């Protein structure tokens, strides 16, 4: 077993999100109490959408009781935090609002902590756990699994997206009659910052696809060993500056496109990539796989720093396209 794969397996034990606790399904919280409580006022609601409406254009934190909820909500204004009372105990399962996502976020900002999003699929194959339509987003200690997109950002959004200590598993796809979905798809122009996060078992598309002008992906793991028909680990579609550092990448055998781990500007150079730094990463192939590939492939033609990365001998450091 190669060194990179061993490190990745060890990291998986650290990053894994705890399995949700057995809990009630639907609107009931512990002891039958209303499960959605606005922290600032103490008011409790049976429906998440009602709690969101009560905050309106203000600032508020919705504390969510343990449970599996087959409901969704749309935020149109304000600054709202959606927080599990016990991280890993809250599951939003299989329901999308507006044919988009479990949480459709269109306010000034949103924060999501300790929540699992699973089985989110919609008619156009572009469903998501979270759809960010405006403002900034912070996601912490959350799990996205077995759906289409994990997080999808609207293409006219300029806000900053931050993801920390979360897991994306069993996501993505490229259906013949629709566009591709991805674990994280930042189709906006704002920064995407991903830290201490795990990506695994992709089912198509890319693990991270970003059209933003700035990227930071650090201290994270990309385990493609059980992936199916996946593409790049990181796709910077229109170029980006920033850093990709201290991550672990393992490429699996079942790929739609295995030509590179990280791809820069494959869809045009709308943003500068000059000074993009890709450093101190580990990259390997699943044990026993014989394949030639590239760690970084670039179509921007701009100076990129690629140094101190530990690569399997079959992986070329850099390819200009």
Q: What is the 3-state secondary structure (H, E, C) of 117-131?
A: EECCCCCCCCCEEEE
β-pairing verdict for 44-45 and 36-38: antiparallel
Calpha distance 140→154 (Å, rounded): 20
Calpha distance 93→74 (Å, rounded): 16
Calpha distance 188→177 (Å, rounded): 23
Q: Is the pLDDT of residue 123 over 60?
A: yes
Q: Residue 176: what pLDDT?
A: 83
Q: Residue 8: what pLDDT?
A: 66
Quick: pLDDT tens for 300-313: 999 999 999 999 99
Percent of residues, the chain, with pLDDT higher than 70: 90
Q: Residue 24: what pLDDT?
A: 44
Mean pLDDT of 85-114: 98
Q: Residue 179: what pLDDT?
A: 86
Quick: pLDDT tens for 4-28: 766 665 556 545 444 444 344 454 4
Q: Is the pTM of this model over 0.85?
A: yes
Calpha distance 40→60 (Å, rounded): 7
- pLDDT class for 83, splitting at 50, 70, 90? very high
Calpha distance 246→310 (Å, rounded): 10
Distance set, CA 30 to CA 66, 100, 131, 297 (Å): 7, 29, 28, 51
Structural element, H or E, at residue 48: helix 48-55
Quick: pLDDT tens for 151-170: 999 999 999 999 999 999 99
Q: Is the pLDDT of residue 81 over 90?
A: yes
Q: Residue 10: what pLDDT?
A: 57
DSSP codes, 129-157 = EEEE-SSEEEEES-EEESSSEEEEE-TT-
Mean pLDDT of 218-230: 98
């Amino acid at each position: 077993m190669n060194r990179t794969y061993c490190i990745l397996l060890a990291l998986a034990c650290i990053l894994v999100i705890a399995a949700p606790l057995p809990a009630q399904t639907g609107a009931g919280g512990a002891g039958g109490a209303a499960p959605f409580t606005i922290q600032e006022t103490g008011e409790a609601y049976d429906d998440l959408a009602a709690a969101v409406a009560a905050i309106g254009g203000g600032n508020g934190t919705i504390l969510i009781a343990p449970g599996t909820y087959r409901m969704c909500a749309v935020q149109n204004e304000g600054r709202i935090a959606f927080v599990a009372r016990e991280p890993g105990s809250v599951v939003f399962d299989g329901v999308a609002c507006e044919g988009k996502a479990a949480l459709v976020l269109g306010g000034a900002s949103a924060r999501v902590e300790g929540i699992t999003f699973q089985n989110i699929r919609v008619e156009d194959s572009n469903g998501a756990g979270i759809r960010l339509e405006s403002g900034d987003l912070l996601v912490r200690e959350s799990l996205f699994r077995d759906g289409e997109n994990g997080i999808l950002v609207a293409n006219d959004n300029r806000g900053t997206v931050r993801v920390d200590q979360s897991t994306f598993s069993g996501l993505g796809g490229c259906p013949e009659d629709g566009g591709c979905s991805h674990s994280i798809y930042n189709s906006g122009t704002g920064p995407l910052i991903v830290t201490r996060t795990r990506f695994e078992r992709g089912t198509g598309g890319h693990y991270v696809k970003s059209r933003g002008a700035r990227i930071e992906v650090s201290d994270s793991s990309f385990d493609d060993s059980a992936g199916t028909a996946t593409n790049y680990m990181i796709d910077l579609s229109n170029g980006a500056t920033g850093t990709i550092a201290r991550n672990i990448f393992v490429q699996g055998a079942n790929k739609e496109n295995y030509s590179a781990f990280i791809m820069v500007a494959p869809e045009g150079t709308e943003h500068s990539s000059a000074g993009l730094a890709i450093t101190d990463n580990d990259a390997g192939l699943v044990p026993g796989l014989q394949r030639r590939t590239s760690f970084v492939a670039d179509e921007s033609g701009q100076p990129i720093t690629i140094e101190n990365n530990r690569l399997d001998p079959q992986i070329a450091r850099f390819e200009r396209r």
